[in-house]
Each structure stands twice: as structure tokens, then as C-alpha cells.
Amino acid sequence: MTRERFTRSSSVPRLPACAALLASALLLAGCQTIGGGSAALIEDEELVRAASPTNIASLTDVIRRNPNDPQAYNMRGSVYGRAGRFPEALEDFNQAVRIDPKYTQAYANRALVYREMKRPDLALADFNRAIQLDANYSPAYVGRGIIYRMQGQPEQALRDFNKAIEIRQDDAQAFHNRGLVYQAQGLHKFAIDDFTTAIGLAISAPEPFHARGLSYLALNDYRRAIEDFDEALGRDKRSIEAWTSRGLAYERLGEKEKAAGSYARAMNINQGYQPAVAGFRRVGGQYGASYNLN
């Protein structure tokens, strides 16, 4: 899924206790979210727990007892969405907005699913609807901005990220994604400032460290780049992109053994990942050899 959090409204009736506890856990898990184009940034085990049959069964029981509660459908749809069960998620979000056509969060959550399903047209329509309903709903601006960024429309993306930041100055996603726009435009100092802000707001997230490292790499500040790639890997040791970027930084420093070791780690995760394979060959890497990574 995309790494934005699914949300629920504070304006609809509160869920019963067991579902409210689950909702709280999910929202807390998503409070430090980053998304370059991918909903809530949570560890795999948390995702498994959130989407477990027990939790889905609990929410289904809530719906059975409260069939006209749109928040319950939105919450279960969020769990389905996190688990990649998109048809079930759409069904629940559809039901939520049938019950409450002004349910802003359900439109935004449905948009996230459509984006993951490679339907940006439907996602944009839902983000637009969410913004029409609540002009100060920052997640919708971030979500729409990500689509614009991915479609190569940087000006529209920047407008949305700027608006999201105006509404919420603690929105790590907005800063991170605005930084990605600046980075794509070659404005690396502006990008670094935004990634640094995103890091301060979501210290456990690997993505802004990796992104900032790429900007340092572009500025030929290889040591700082490596520091950031290491920070990213400290948070996600299976980040094939961070291992590959680390290899490239060491390659440019002329430290071929460390470069080969980093590329090898990326290839251990996915042996067919071409950027790592090409880098490994460039530095003279030998299959089956041991390399010093430090």
C-alpha cells in the first residue's frame, strides 16, 4: 500500500470499545507516516496483527451490531486496505459513503486504494471530493499531490504539498513529498531542508533518510550520503534501494570493497535488481566472496 495512513472522522459516532482500541492502535502505528507514493508506515508484524482474522472478525462483529455506522465500515476498509485486500476495502468504503455521503475520510481512504490499483483518475476524483467536503483536510492534499508528482505535474503537486503544510506544519508526508519534487527539479538544498524536517517529524521512517542521502549524493557529499543511507538501513535492513545507493556512494569514493558489499546485500534481497547487478559488476564484485561493509 501507499504509505499514508488511513483515517477516521471525529465527527461520526464513536466505535464500541474493542473496535475503538483497534482503531487507536492503527492510527498510532500510522502517526509517523511517509509516502513517496506508497498508506501507513508500519512494521510487517504490526500489519499482520492489524489485518489478522481476529481483528477483521471483531470489526465485522461491530458492523453486524451497527450496520448503519459509517465509521465501522471505514475502519474495516482501512484494515483491508493495509492488507492489500482492495476489493473488500472498496466495498467497505463504498458502503461508508452510501451511509454518509459527506464522510471525508472514507473518500480519501478509497482514493488511496484506487491509487494502489493504478486508477489515478478515480483516486483524483475521490481526493477532490474530500477536499470539496473539507477544504482543510490535509491528507487529501498530500494524496492528490502524490498523484500529481507521479504524473509529472510538479507545479500542481507543489501547490497541494504547500497547502497541506499550511494546514498542518507537522505533516511529515507533505514535507517528504515536497522534497521529492524539489529533488526531481535539481533543487537539492531545498530538498534537503524538507527531508530534514520530515526526519524530525517521523524519526523512525527510513524513506526521508534515503531521499536526503540521494540529494547529498547528487551534491557529491558522499560521506553525508552514506550516513543517511546507514540511517535508512538501520530502520529497514531490507531496503534494496538504500543498499544500492550506499554501494554507489562508496563506488564514487573509490572504496570498491564496501561498494561491492553493499551491492551484494541488495542482490541478496533481489538477485535480479539491475542497478545493484550493474554496480556490482562495475566495481569488480565476485560472486561468493565476502566483503567488509564497515
Q: What is the pLDDT of residue 147?
A: 97
Q: 86: closest CA among 132, 123, 49, 60? A: 123
CATH architecture of 1-205: Alpha Horseshoe (1.25)
Q: What is the pLDDT of residue 288?
A: 87
DSSP string, 180-222: HHHHHTT-HHHHHHHHHHHHHH-TT-SHHHHHHHHHHHHTT-H
Angle between helices 70-82 and 104-116 (to 10 degrees): 20
Q: What is the pLDDT of residue 55?
A: 81
Residues 100, 5, 84, 51, CA torsion sign:
negative
pTM (two decimals): 0.83
Q: What is the pLDDT of residue 200?
A: 97
Q: What is the pLDDT of residue 247?
A: 98
Task: Return d(Cα 134, Cα 289) in angstroms, integer.
Answer: 58
Domain boundaries, the chain: 1-205, 207-294
Grid coordinates representing 97 are 459513503
**Same fold: 1-205 with 207-294:** yes
Grid coordinates representing 253 are 569514493
Q: What is the pLDDT of residue 242?
A: 98
From first to last of the 294 residues of the chain, give the pLDDT tens digit: 334 444 444 333 344 443 433 333 333 223 334 444 433 322 334 444 555 667 888 899 999 999 999 999 999 999 899 888 999 999 999 999 999 999 999 999 999 999 999 999 999 999 999 999 999 999 999 999 999 999 999 999 999 999 999 999 999 999 999 999 999 999 999 999 999 999 999 999 999 999 999 999 999 999 999 999 999 999 999 999 999 999 999 999 999 999 999 999 999 999 999 999 999 999 999 998 999 888
**Is the CATH code 1.25.40.10 the one for domain 207-294?**
yes
